[in-house]
Amino acid sequence: MASIRLERQRGHAAEPANDPRAGAEGEGDSPGMYPLQASRSYPREQWYVAAYRNELPAGKPLGREIFGEPVVLFRSDSGEAAALSGLCVHRFMPLAGGQVTGGKLVCPYHGYAYGADGQCVHIPTGGKPSPHAKLRHYPVIEDGPFIWIWPGTAEKAANTPLPDLRDIGLSGDGEGWRVDTAERLDLDARPALLVDNLFDLSHIAFIHLQSLPGAEGLALIPPVFDRTDVRFRVGRTLPGFVAEPDTAIARTMPLIAGRPVFVSLHTDFYSPAMINSSGPWAYELVDGNQPGAPIAKINFVHIVTPKNETATHYFNVVSRDFDLDDEDISAQLVAQTDRVRKEDAVWIAQIEKYADRLDVRKEISTKADEGALKVRRVLQALIEAEEA
């Protein structure tokens, strides 16, 4: 279950409830409705992004902690990415400090060498390696700009597709799209807090007032909820929107500058690993307030990978389907998303300090929180399906 096809999990995940107050004081389910508890922090039987593909050149291993476990990635002689548990079987030295020689991962401490399947194939001091001298091997797929890893039960990976990201240019060859990678952040907070933030527009007027000028009123627009086989959407529309000349949106989306268009602003949950914030999608305006032919699309794609119970690898890419060779637009968009994400990271980390002490039943929610509450329930359903 890599996407929102919840029915493919064991058990059946219920449709998120319509009551926007769920989770408020005296309302909704048990505290488990929102997985603040570190012991149930995030769904594990999913595809997650371990790294950008360009982070893993040939000949150099890359270490990464995922779900609290040390993982090492490297490329075999064929150039394919491999992911293994990150500590040598001999004396538990982190293998990320080693080297790749002849397509084998070599431990920096005593030179034990491992194949892409995790089996130790050479011990410099002699002797045939035991069949038990084997590291855990993680299923890996390279697609789009990402190296995906399956941290759950390996047997389930083969029957679970990656999230379908073709509509934002991140699956397959991405033809017709420009994709730029932003900085990976080490977020000092659990993944569920980041997801909560991404579906919350009401904080924009406070945390991002300088970075996103003019966006502070978005939370006042009633959201529309939509669900397909591949994603759950919280959307808002702006018929007749005009990007005034010399504003940030006019500079990064020149095709819509100075004329009324139909704008769709939405946040899409593709999987626990992948959330897209459109930035925006613009259409011709027809019949006064209806969308016509598409003009241009920008996506700020947030990639969520659990580092451990209270920390997250926060990747981000920006994709667009216009002016693909314009480096200035790319630079502006990447700078914007890096600035906004760093602002969020500071404040989300403040909540994490107290997360294990909180009782979600005493949390107050309002109509503006409806989208985030629905996604909380999606996450809870995935966790419960894994525990069934």
pLDDT by residue (tens digit) across 144-199?
999 999 999 999 999 999 999 999 999 888 899 999 999 999 999 999 999 999 99
The CATH homologous superfamily of the domain defined by 52-157 = Rieske [2Fe-2S] iron-sulphur domain (2.102.10.10)
Which residue blocks in the chain are alpha helix, DSSP H?
154-157, 191-198, 204-207, 248-252, 327-352, 370-387
Residue type, 13: A
- Residue 354 CB contacts under 8 Å (≥ 6 apart), including other chains: none
Strands annotated E in the chain? 48-52, 62-66, 69-75, 81-85, 99-101, 104-106, 113-114, 120-122, 137-138, 140-143, 146-149, 178-181, 185-187, 224-227, 232-242, 260-271, 274-286, 290-308, 311-320
Tens digits of per-residue pLDDT, 259-294?
Answer: 999 999 999 999 999 999 998 999 999 998 999 999
- Render each residue's pLDDT in the chain as its tens digit; 388 residues: 333 333 222 222 333 333 333 333 333 443 344 556 656 679 999 999 999 999 999 999 999 999 999 999 999 999 999 999 999 999 999 999 999 999 999 999 999 999 999 999 999 998 899 999 999 999 999 999 999 999 999 999 999 999 999 999 998 888 999 999 999 999 999 999 999 999 988 888 788 867 776 666 777 788 889 898 889 999 999 999 999 988 889 999 999 999 999 999 999 999 999 999 998 999 999 998 999 999 999 999 999 999 999 999 999 999 999 999 999 999 999 999 999 999 999 999 999 998 887 776 677 888 888 888 899 889 988 998 998 8
Domain limits, the chain: 52-157, 166-387
Residue 351, classified by CB atoms within 10 Å of its CB into exposed (0-12), middle (13-18) or buried (19+), is middle
253 phi and psi angles, rounded to 5 deg: -135, 65
| pTM for this model (two decimals) | 0.89
8 A C-beta contact, residue 264 and residue 237: yes
The C-alpha torsion from 181 through 341 and 85 to 57, rounded to 10°, is 20
Say whether domain 166-387 belongs to CATH 3.90.380.10: yes
Report the candidate in 166, 137, 384 with the shortest Cα–Cα distance to residue 274: 166
pLDDT value for 2: 36
Q: What share of the chain is helix, strand, coil (3-state, %, to 5)?
A: 25, 30, 45
The C-alpha torsion from 276 through 280 and 284 to 286, rounded to 10°, is 80
pLDDT value for 254: 95
Residue type, 1: M
